Copies of this chain bind each other. A is one copy, B any other.
Amino acid sequence: MDNKIKLRNAGLRPTKQRIIIADILLNGFNRHFTAENLQNEISISGNKMSIATVYNCLKKFKNAGLIKQVESYTDTAIFDTNNVSHHHFLNEETGELIDIDNNEINLIKLPDIPKGFINSGVDVIIKLKKNN
């Protein structure tokens, strides 16, 4: 299994569990998945892994740059009294949001919308980190 080497190159100890996950994820096809999705696929592949291990591995894979986690603003619901359509700066350190007026951003090129769907809104998030 050359995933053993991939893991080592990424600075991760190639444990049995990590190899099982690498074999499922790192096959060249891109996809989105949750921890639970992955645990199911592990079962289907004839293996068994605790959900804590699935989370542990995903965190390690992410920190090693093998996968990404889809950005989400926050883990708690945030409400906004500004009900005019607008965008946001996100302070990555604190989670704080700052509004951006719609006319401060100009998108000149958008991808084709998938067949059968219409664009129901575009959200732009500009992530901020401290400058120093």
Contacts and interface: CB of A to CB of B under 8 A. Distances in A.
Contact of A72 (B32, B72, B108): B72
B78 A69 contact: yes
Interface of A: 25-26, 29-36, 38, 58, 62, 65-74, 76-83, 88-89, 91-92, 96-101, 104-111, 113-114, 116-132
A126 B119 contact: yes
A83 to B, nearest CB: 5
A21 B111 CA distance: 41
A105 B109 CA distance: 5
Contacts of A124: 107, 122-125
Contacts of A72: 72-74, 77-78
B97 A116 contact: no
Nearest to A129: B120
